Structure 1
Amino acid sequence: MTPPRALVTGAGGFVGQALCQGFSRRGWEVVALDRHFVDLPQDPRITRFEVDLCSAEWTRLPEELDLIIHAAWVTTDPMSLGMSRGDYITQNVLALAAVLGFATRNPPDSFVFLSSSGVFSASDAIEGLTDQHRPTGSSPYAEGKLKSEGLVASWASEGLSKTYVVRLGHLFGVGEVVRPTRQVVSLVAQWVAEARKGSSLEVRADDPLRDWTYTADLAPALERLTADPVEQSPVHLSNPETLRDSEVASLIASEYSSVEVEVSTKPPGMSVKPPMVPSDLSIFNDFQWTDFATGLSSVIEEEETL
């Protein structure tokens, strides 16, 4: 029996690597695309192509695909890259358009665009951001993602593939490092790095509540989503577990000796968005999300052996 095949863009990044390895573990063949690979482990099920999506030699790629996941995105603030807001948005949208062009010529069974809770502003909800809330984020990142969500929705109307806009929330996992296109890592990665040095972990005075999803859960979750015949967009895909920053810091500190958690006395600064609320989809009723504490222990154990 021929194994299913997925194409993943941004495969050299934090999320892309997790997807490639996750689908490989589940018996898929993976076509991995990125401009440059550094840490993606060798795997006989994963075939790498180093390409610029906007000028890719698409004829080199396999044409028969069950799934395309567009995970490529420049998350770094454009000013840090010496780019204008317009150039930043255009670069990201053009990369998506190129992938959609390939998908038009070679329609997969399913197409997934990875968006983010970053499309929302802190004032869009009080208790939790649902898939019914209207996003009003105004950052270059938010504007680019929202434009891309619209482009994917337009492409979906052609009916070539089952199509999903999937918004992810806060993520943590193995292999989260700074790279030019992603210069800011998650709070979990920042605190783990501080804890390894024996430094105390400083928690914001307002101690915000956040959703946290272990990246190893993404591939099985997307596999289940795209196997369902019912399309829905956008889909909020996240672990329903939420934690206060102080809880996260305490769990990290408990993994290391002599690391303390301190509550900042400074004003908290910019407001943190409410946690993202997962979409109410029956296909996930029995899905086993990895709880934060278990995922954290796995990350620390695996990264200490690298």
Structure 2
Amino acid sequence: MAKQRVLITGGAGFLGSHLCDRFLKEGFHVIAMDNLITGDLRNIEHLFKNADFEFYHHDVSTFVHIPGELHYILHFASPASPIDYLKIPIQTLKVSSLGTHNLLGLARSKKARILVASTSEVYGDPLVHPQTEEYYGNVNPIGPRGVYDEAKRFQEAITMAYHTYHNLETRIIRIFNTYGPRMRLNDGRVLPAFIGQALRGEDLTVFGDGSQTRSFCYVDDEVDGIFRLLMSDYHLPVNIGNPDEITIGDFAEEIVKLTGTKQKVVYKPLPQDDPKQRQPNITKAKELLGWSPKVSRAEGLKITYEYFKSLPQEVLFQRDHKDFQRYVR
């Protein structure tokens, strides 16, 4: 019996590469697609010899063609860190609008089920805490973060339109802060930023007074939630994240303790529209999917720190590491 085939866009990225691993483990034939703007072939090079794995170097914002049958699509192509989407705002908007439109059309033509990766950023700087899926958000569409926040909100809207008007099987996940091996060390997100600073012997930089909160979910838990949602019968958005909330100030102290750094924590002004609170309400995930996170922050951080420590020195000190040339095939 032929294996079911799944397309994973953003397949060379942090989450995308872990999804490739999971679906291969589940017995699927996996097609990864990535234009490598923020993805890295090193994340998936261990899969290149696998007969059930294919890689397409392609930008989904132009068009998407996959020959043969396709049973599932997971759309994870998108810059996801402030450094990226502030540097490439147009591409960020296009991948969640034109790219999503192209993939919804592909799903319709292939009669495939599609899951799109949305984000907790659709809630903006929330006025409701913790955030439930019914909360509409508090987003500044023309602020510096608007290119990402509004792109994801549009992505949800067009996905629901295809579900409503074309009876397409769609799933929408709202991802909260996720971490683990294969994160880019210098992508601007708080966890790799803190660990990178500690490893380089720099002071840890907290933006704001440190009272703003985040909730960190280990990548294995996130991937399990994604898989369960894809295989469920639920088409409305679902939060997948760890509700274990911590202030950024306390989190910086956790990293200091974990890494044994002698550097101090320094405070700088909070960027415009930066969310003051972020904590998922995961009641739906528990009730509909039987999902809740299993990996504690202490356990996940230890694994992640060991991964970052193992990186070459040139990666550690490269602020915007993009060395793909030796992996081009």
Q: Which residue of structure 2 lines up, in the alignment, with residue 226 of structure 1?
A: 230
User: Counterpart amino acid of 1:278?
Assistant: N
Change (3 A) 1:193 1:213: same
Alignment of 1:141 onto 2:143: no
CA distance in 2, matches of 1:256, 1:177: 18
Q: Return the alpha-carbon distance in structure 2 between the equivalents of residues 105 and 152 of structure 1.
A: 15
Q: Contact 2:97 / 2:151 at 8 angstroms: preserved in 1? A: yes
Q: 1:63 aligns with which of 66, 69, 82?
A: 69
Answering whether residue 26 of structure 2 is matched by residue 16 of structure 1, we say: no
Alpha-carbon distance between aligned partners in 2 of 1:248 and 1:28, rounded to the nearest angstrom:
38
Alpha-carbon distance in 2 for matches of 1:95, 1:257: 43
Unaligned runs of 5+ in 2: 312-329
Whether 2:172 is the aligned partner of 1:168: answer: no
1:193 aligns with 196
RMSD: 2.7
Q: Is the 8 A contact 1:206 1:268 kept in 2?
A: no
State TM-score, norm by structure 2.
Answer: 0.78
Secondary structure at 1:114 match in 2: strand
| Greater helix content | 2
SS in 1 for 2:283: coil
What's the offset of the Cα at 1:226? 2.4
Task: Quote the residue 1:33 is aligned against.
Answer: 33
By how many angstroms is 1:157 displaced?
1.5
Q: Is the 8 A contact 1:107 1:160 kept in 2?
A: no
Alpha-carbon displacement from aligned partner over 1:191-222 (angstroms, at most 9, x marks no partner): 11111122232434242221111222222212
- Aligned-pair identity in percent equals 20
Q: Distance in 2 between matches of 1:78 and 1:169?
A: 17
Q: Hey, what does 1:216 align to over in structure 2?
A: 220
**Which stretches in structure 1 are left out of the alignment for 5+ residues?**
none
Q: Is the 8 A contact 2:195 2:259 kept in 1?
A: no
| One of 21, 42, 46 as aligned partner of 1:42 | 46
Query: Are 1:235 and 2:241 matched, yes or no?
Result: no
C-alpha separation in 1, matches of 2:203 and 2:260:
11
Q: TM-score, normalised by structure 1?
A: 0.84
SS at match of 1:6: strand
- What letter matches 1:71 in structure 2? F
Counterpart selection for 1:252 from 250, 255, 270:
255
Cα distance, 1:289 vs structure 2: 2.8
Q: Give the residue type in structure 2 aligned to 1:255.
A: L
Q: Does the residue aligned with 1:19 lie in a helix, a strand or coil?
A: helix
Q: Distance in 1 between matches of 2:120 and 2:177?
A: 8
Letter in 2 for 1:174: P
Could you tell me how far 1:155 is from its partner in structure 2? 0.5
- Give the Cα–Cα distance (whole angstroms) in 2 for the partners of residues 121 and 54 of structure 1: 25
Partner of 1:125: 127
